[in-house]
Structure 1
Amino acid sequence: MTHPYVLTLSCTDRPGIVAAVTTELAASGSNIAESAQFWDRVTGRFFMRIAFHAPDAMTKDEIERALKPAVDRFDMKTTISDQARRPKMIVMVSKFDHALLHLLYQIRVGWLDAEVVAVVSNHETSRRTAELENIPYHHWPVNKENKTEQEEKLIALVKESGADLVVLARYMQVLSDNLSKRLFGKVINIHHSFLPSFKGAKPYHQAHERGVKLIGATAHYVTPDLDEGPIIEQETERVTHAMSADDFVATGRDIESRVLARAVKMHLENRVMLNGHKTVVFG
């Protein structure tokens, strides 16, 4: 019997990193199922993701101890994720629910292995959807006076539910700098534009006015810099002069749903590593 884990690591690039890690895993009786690596020649950083099966009797702490000689030798930053544990996420949404519905569908059919432990919204629009899925629904209207209070409630909900990720599925409220810093690397947003172009409000209308031939969507981590967090996934689709702004919006909704779902899946499978203002994404 074996137990699935994913190891991610980063360190300054030097010869022998892969050999050191794989040797320790082999010595522990683990079997590597998948491996990917990347050397950033600009920064000199090395990134690696290894999916492996450890002996069932071996604990996570024992795996960490087995890897410690390699970790110390190369001064690695490591994370070991238990892949047998189903990750939990909170989905935040406003009036447009297409991205939320797509996430729930992909979970239902098994493509996305996750549990939505709560839906949070500043509107009542998606309550019925959450009730049908037996998901707790939190209606928290936001204004200037209660924004800090509502964000503290979100922090409390993350801790209480054990959520691994907060997904902004077209949640049309800007998170404060304080919240963005406290949850850095744990909040994914879908922006209805191919960033960095057309940031802010009504990007499809901006694109239509500029006569663009490609529109798209961007999934990124949330940071204090609005719509400038490290990008995880993007997609574009060709449009024409004959299409209206509403046609752009309809096309964009499909793209947003797909891009967000892929970004969430890659994050929950530990395929995304932060590299300064960028990401390393192992497919």
Structure 2
Amino acid sequence: MTALQAVATALRGLPRGVVSLVYPPTCAGCGSATADPGAFCPSCWSSLRLIEEPVCQRYGTPFALDLGVGPLVSPRAIAEPPVFGRARAVALYDAVARRIVHRLKYEDRLDLAGVMARMMAASGRTLIAEAECLVPVPLHRGRLWRRRFNQSALLARAIAASAGRPCVATALVRVRATRSQVGLSRAARAENLSGAFRVTAAEQHRIRGRRVLLVDDVMTTGATGNAAARALLRGGATSVNLLTFALVGDPAG
């Protein structure tokens, strides 16, 4: 089963439940009317750039061409190996994926977390199978107060519930309020996030000696994933992989 088929299968049979009473069925991408909750209209589905093999085994970036046999590693992964082991994502962060993420984060469409989590569970099934617990990338308490929810925690809890894995949502905290990453260079992003995360002493026993799957909505340069993974490894995790909904960047060469 290809990643595209797995994602399509994951989208079928979403429960209608209370969400259908609050939000009439609409396209997860553009908000136009659809027959079923969590479905995509034909235009959004055909425009969503789902990530398929072959991909860089470290960053999860798709290759523009199939380069043949064996595990593939992009030039970037060789030059700048990430702190986390492997990253996987559902789709490239193009117009449709961006709209889905923005509707969840800024339009309070919390019902979309279930749709996104199902797609992430399909794309990241290998990483989930290896994980012993899931940890969301946290927001600083000031930003959490303004937004009222952490989208990464919503995704992590939904994925963990479907996979039968524990979600340790409070193990990792953001101890420093960082400036927005928008517009920053890769080096500036890494500097901005240096020392921003810490594993809490009270929760350290829940990740010590465990294989952790870190969950976030979007990976841009990997700076957030690196900073969070570094804190988790220092806190005692044996390994850290990263699963996101979207990935910024063009296919690897």
Question: Does 1 or 2 have the higher relative contact order (CA < 8 Å, sep 6+)?
Answer: 2
> Larger % of strand: which?
1
Tell me which structure has the larger Cα radius of gyration: 1
TM-score, normalised via structure 2 length: 0.29
